[in-house]
Amino acid sequence: MSQRHRSQEAAPPPKMDLRAHAHNERHRINSELQAVAAQVSAGAEPDEVHEPGPAWVPDHHRHLKAREDTSPKRLRHWKVKAWKRRSSVRKAKAQAARLAGEQS
């Protein structure tokens, strides 16, 4: 049921390709960090040196991040503590109305 809305046309890339891409990205970031460390140790100001960041993110991470940012948390009424009390309160009000109707 969790895969009901997943399209069958767009198959995910093979796991080996994803792992290779992630490995290459980690290697790129580490080598750029080594270059930054060499520049700073050579006397460059740390604020002036460009710090590398991720240029590639796997698709499943991108979708999770976008979903977290855009959709606010919906209130699930059945998870609220007062959910079970709502029906009992309505029953009590109806009973009070019936009693008030019988007495007048």
Q: What per-residue confidence (pLDDT) applies to 41? A: 92
- Per-residue model confidence (pLDDT) at position 34: 93
Domain membership flag for residue 66: no
Per-residue model confidence as pLDDT tens digits over 67-100: 555 556 787 877 777 766 777 788 889 999 999 9
Does residue 51 lie in a domain region?
yes
Residue 48 forms part of a structural domain: yes
71 is a domain residue: no
Number of domains in the chain: 1
Query: What distance in Å separates the CA atoms of residue 27 and residue 45, rounded to the nearest whole number?
Result: 24
How many CA atoms are closer than 13 Å to the CA of 5, on its beta-carbon side?
1
Residues with Cβ within 8 Å of 100's Cβ and at least 6 positions away in sequence, in order, are: none
Report pLDDT digits (tens) over 20-65: 988 999 999 999 999 999 999 999 898 888 888 877 777 766 665 5
In a domain, 42, yes or no: yes
Between the CA of residue 19 and those of 15, 57, 77, what are the distances in Å? 6, 12, 42
In a domain, 46, yes or no: yes
Q: What is the domain range of residue 38?
A: 14-55
